[in-house]
Amino acid sequence: MRSFAATSESRRAPEPGNASVACDPPEDMAALIRWVLSNPTTLSKVSMRITRFALEHPAEIAMSNGRRVAGLLDVSPSSVTRFAAALGFQNYAELRRFFQREVLKARQTRD
């Protein structure tokens, strides 16, 4: 399985454009950003659009269901689900909970 947490010689990124390869979900936002930056060809163009939106608007991901995110980005709901799976989450709800935790951590850090 791919991992966001630790890089290891035995672990390898999936083939370019193959966002369906399972991996462990990121531990935190920093791990997510590191993984995306170090694997630029792993995600499809649509998944990269969703990634950019998620990183620029984490609270929107935290508060919205997958259909709303899909509508905001003019992509299919299944694209949003595949995006969550590509990052190692079981489903969009798990990805959403990750963003909820990260948004809460960021707000607590600012206070």
What residue spans define the domains of the chain? 44-110
Distance CA 30, CA 110 (A): 16
Tokens read off for 39 = 């694997």
Placement of tokens 């990183």 in the chain: 55
Predicted confidence (pLDDT) per residue in 20-46, tens digit? 555 789 999 999 999 899 888 888 999
Second-level CATH architecture of 44-110: Orthogonal Bundle (1.10)
Render pLDDT for 35-92 as a digit per residue (tens, 0 to 9): 899 888 888 999 999 999 999 999 999 999 999 999 999 999 999 999 999 999 999 9
Strand partners, 2: 23
pTM of the model: 0.77
Question: 4 with 24: CB under 8 angstroms?
Answer: yes
